[in-house]
Amino acid sequence: MFAMPRTPRIIGFGGRSSAPPGAFSKLDAYVLELSGADRPRVLYLPTPSGDADASIVMFYERFTAHAEPTHLKLFGAPDAASWRPRLLHQDVIYVSGGNTANALAVWRTHGMDVVLREAWESGIVLCGGSAGMICWFECSVTDSFGPGLAALRDGLGFLPGSACPHYDSEERRRPVYQQLVGAGFPGGFAVDDLAAIQFERTALKEVVTEAEGHDAYRVEKVGDIVRETRLPGRLLA
């Protein structure tokens, strides 16, 4: 009996969840449901956090009761021949928040960027918040380079255009993103904390939110004007 092919999916969270640190959230449940597995295999990739042990512990606290969790550290990791089969045997790959530029550099050094694309194309669900959201796009707004916000133009490029997380929780995100788009930065998606965007292949499929008033937006330049369009979202039960 042949397994049905799975649709490539990416889910990006704008930032924090409404659940306490280390607690399973509505957005976590949403991701596991999209995997289609009764007890999904979920691999945590904490590269943006510098493989921080604290974030790994919280990941296990969140998922052990609901999935089959594991994690992969790349700092000091062996070559891809040892971890590539593990990565491609998952239902979900969950990328941490942290420093996006550093994560991209480490992934490219180890060939993880190539394997992540292979995982995505095979139908393994890719997801994450903040850095774990914007890494999948061509471009993004990031604080990877210092205390201020700046353009990152060399993302993985699985999804076209740009992205901006923390749209409602960090006051500089909205004006900086809109200034960049107005100056020629590719248009894209901005996402509030507590909200998420789901893509099937490269097309936006759905916006979901844990609470009213936390949304996602399409931000693009139309003529000489930067237009922000709120995208209708579904409130998670």
Catalytic center residues:
130, 166
Contact 56, 83 (CB under 8 A): no
Which residues lie below 8 Å from residue 23, measured CB to CB, with a gap of 6+?
61, 62
Best CA proximity match to 213, nearest among 190, 237, 235: 235
In degrees rounded to 5, what are phi and psi of residue 140? Answer: -165, 170
Question: Could you tell me the two tokens for 87?
Answer: 């990565």
Instruction: Identify the residue whose tokens are 């550099």.
Output: 105
Instruction: Identify the residue whose tokens are 């960090």.
Output: 170
Pairwise CA distance, residues 30 & 24, whole Å:
11
Pairwise CA distance, residues 17 & 195, whole Å:
8
Q: Specify which residues 41 forms β-bridges with.
A: 68
Contact 41, 90 (CB under 8 A): yes
Question: Could you tell me the two tokens for 124?
Answer: 């393994």
